[in-house]
């Protein structure tokens, strides 16, 4: 009888562990163009998750865009991440100013106005929309001045890789702060839109 109980406990433990391994995970820090992204937002994991699309247009889990500057120059790049699957509708944008000029190195993450593209503050910043379980509402969080760092590890041959962290403030409540930790991305600009994020 004792042997049967031990076998049953081993099976239950194994099945319980395998269920935990089925969900999304924080990807490793790489510089190979693996088209990965992950970070913790206030302790909760965010990874890109593609949607089913509408009107013959896919819901990309992650996109990298370049924005115009004076003349034909590129002023900024934006890495946009979406979670279309978990039900929380998370959105994240990393706005990098002067990437082509500054390349590999450390960037200060500064104050965001929670706007993207040409409406963004003219600095490197980030912002996100996150579902709050307690209030059952979406909240927008914007990076604060000198609130974190972005480390660009690689920027060549279409590959952009790096790590980041930042302190964020609730756009509508300046007394509420959260942290973004363990952020990492490894993008291949030539193949990113071909990637489906389950």
How many angstroms separate the CA atoms of 137 and 133, rounded?
A: 7
Phi, then psi, of 28 in degrees rounded to 5: -70, 160
In this predicted structure, what is the pLDDT of residue 157? 94
Q: Which residues pair with 72 in a beta bridge?
A: none
Where do we find the tokens 């104050």? 111
Minimal CA–CA distance to 35: which of 150, 198, 179, 181?
198
Indicate the pTM of the whole model: 0.86
Task: Per residue of the chain (198 residues), give pLDDT as tens.
Answer: 555 544 444 444 444 444 455 778 999 999 999 999 999 999 999 999 999 877 777 899 999 999 987 666 789 999 999 999 887 789 999 999 999 999 999 999 999 999 999 999 999 999 999 988 888 889 999 999 999 999 999 999 999 999 999 999 999 999 999 999 999 999 999 999 999 999
Q: Which residues pair with 109 in a beta bridge?
A: 148
In this predicted structure, what is the pLDDT of residue 188? 97
> Own/partner pairs for 112-119, CB < 8 Å, 24+ apart?
112/142, 112/143, 113/142, 114/140, 114/141, 114/142, 114/171, 116/78, 116/80, 117/65, 117/67, 117/78, 118/67, 118/68
Q: How many CB atoms lie within 10 A of CB 83?
A: 23
Cβ partners under 8 Å of residue 74, min gap 6: 66, 67, 68, 99, 100
Q: Is 69 left (phi over 0), alpha (psi -120 to 50) or beta?
A: beta
Q: What is the H or E stretch that residue 196 is in?
A: none
In this predicted structure, what is the pLDDT of residue 21? 58
């Amino acid at each position: 009888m004792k042997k049967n109980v031990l076998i049953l406990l081993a099976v239950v433990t194994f099945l319980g562990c395998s269920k935990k391994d089925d969900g999304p995970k924080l990807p490793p820090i790489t510089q190979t163009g693996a088209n990965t992204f992950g970070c913790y937002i206030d302790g909760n994991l965010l990874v890109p998750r593609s949607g089913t699309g509408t009107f013959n247009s896919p819901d990309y889990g992650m996109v990298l865009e370049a924005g115009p500057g004076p003349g034909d120059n590129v002023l900024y790049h934006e890495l946009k991440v979406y979670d279309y699957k978990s039900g929380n509708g998370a959105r994240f944008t990393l706005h990098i100013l002067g990437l082509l000029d500054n390349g590999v190195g450390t960037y200060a993450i500064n104050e965001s106005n929670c706007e993207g593209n040409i409406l963004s503050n003219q600095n490197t910043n980030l912002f996100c929309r996150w579902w709050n379980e307690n209030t059952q509402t979406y909240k927008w969080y914007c990076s604060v001045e000198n609130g974190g760092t972005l480390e660009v590890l690689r920027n060549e041959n279409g590959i952009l890789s790096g790590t980041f962290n930042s302190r964020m403030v609730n756009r509508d409540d300046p007394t509420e702060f959260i942290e973004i930790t363990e952020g990492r991305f490894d993008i291949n600009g030539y193949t990113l839109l071909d990637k489906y994020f389950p």
